Homo-oligomer: A and B are copies of this chain.
């Protein structure tokens, strides 16, 4: 019912990082694309199969270094049903390799609709009394905009099926402050109000790791805010985007960590996926380059623990 499985894998690898699988097509080495287009056509299917080859190579190179991967749903949805199928294949393969899978979907809706989303990714879908797995992952991202009754259905499935969620609190993009940083009448900011809610939602889900099922997405680009949020949600794991490509380094991550050196998992997508484009690698070495970057990132993060 908690985030224990993630913490276990982080401890095992000595590595609080997650490899984002956001496969923009120009991230995929040309030779993989060409081969996929030759086999399946220069179309949505060909592009999807190229992404699958790329993802498989990345997972093979990373599964003993990183504890988790985070596919970003948008980059699969943009190839339609072929892309969705490759997303399912990628998730299954990552799980086979022992990786914790965080699916970045940022789903949100009111009660019964949130329930339907939750069944798709965390729970199970019931058909005439029988339960079916649909797209089972360990964890998803959730948008808290609809309030408690939009988030509760996800939490219920976390408790029931030992899953976890990361709820948006303070994002890493430049305009995230427009809504999230608004100051409310009592002087606190909107992201602090959300943090207080997350802390409440998390309360009854604490596992043996000391952390609960309801984590928070907290951008590494705003360290002072991260510090405040850490205090407001002491038992929530943080998913930290914005390392590397978006400008935040390991120092930016530090305020997201608790004194136990735990409490945060840091995402890198482009930094790892496109490592082969820097420093004299050949396209064919994309997986080895990704592995080296994942190791470098691990050392960087461990240095601030």
Chain A residues close to B by CB (< 8 Å): 22, 24-25, 33, 37, 42-44, 46-47, 72, 74-75, 77-81, 84-85, 88, 106-114, 116-117, 119-120, 125, 127-128, 130, 132, 134-135, 143-150, 168, 171-180, 182-185, 187, 190, 193-194, 197
Contacts and interface: CB of A to CB of B under 8 A. Distances in A.
Nearest to A127: B47
A150 B173 contact: yes
B184 A193 contact: no
A42 B127 contact: yes
A197 B173 contact: no
Contacts of A106: 107-109, 143
Contacts of A168: 145
A201 to B, nearest CB: 11
A194 B182 CA distance: 11
Contact of A143 (B134, B145, B174): B145
Given A80-B134, A88-B81, A185-B185, A175 B193 contact: no
A17 B22 CA distance: 38
The 10 closest A-B pairs by CB, nearest first: A147-B175, A147-B178, A74-B116, A110-B173, A149-B175, A80-B134, A148-B175, A77-B120, A183-B185, A78-B116
Given A147-B178, A147-B179, A173-B110, A43 B127 contact: yes
Given A116-B74, A117-B74, A111 B173 contact: yes
Contacts of A119: 78
Contact of A184 (B143, B144, B172, B185): B185
A180 B75 CA distance: 29
Given A37-B128, A127-B43, A173-B110, A145 B78 contact: no
Nearest to A85: B81
A194 B180 CA distance: 11
A180 B145 contact: yes
B116 A77 contact: yes
B75 A113 contact: yes
B174 A149 contact: yes
A173 B112 CA distance: 10
Contact of A145 (B75, B114, B120, B145): B145
Contacts of A187: 185
A134 B127 CA distance: 29
A175 to B, nearest CB: 3
Contacts of A179: 144-145, 147, 190, 193-194
